């Protein structure tokens, strides 16, 4: 697999029109991939095989809720830790 943490930001002209996108990508640590990303990905794929995308989305939403974080906070914490 190819794992990256990516942030995409639109670039605007003087009239407010999107003219391009800027992307910043970072490779997560091997520890984060091994301990968090790969097991979570495996679980989501299993759930999708069994109950469709809705089942995996529900699982992820519940995981985030149980941990009291948004998706953005979850991703940020993978890279920078719980600060």
pLDDT (tens digit, 9 = 90+) per residue, 9-41? 999 999 999 999 999 888 888 899 899 999 999
Determine the Cα–Cα distance for residues 3 and 38; give it in Å rounded to an integer: 9
Taking the complete model, does pTM exceed 0.75, yes or no?
A: no
Averaged pLDDT score across all residues of the chain: 90
Rounded to an integer, what is the distance from CA 26 to the centroid of its chain?
A: 12
**17 φ/ψ sector (left φ>0, alpha ψ -120 to 50, else beta):** beta
Residue count of the chain: 83
């Amino acid at each position: 697999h190819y794992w990256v943490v990516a942030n995409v930001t639109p670039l605007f002209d003087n009239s407010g029109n999107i003219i391009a996108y800027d992307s910043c990508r970072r490779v997560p640590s091997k520890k984060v991939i091994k301990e968090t990303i790969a097991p979570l990905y495996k679980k989501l794929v299993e759930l999708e095989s069994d109950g469709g995308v809705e089942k995996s989305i529900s699982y992820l939403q519940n995981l985030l809720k149980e941990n009291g974080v948004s998706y953005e906070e979850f991703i940020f914490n993978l890279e920078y830790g719980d600060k």
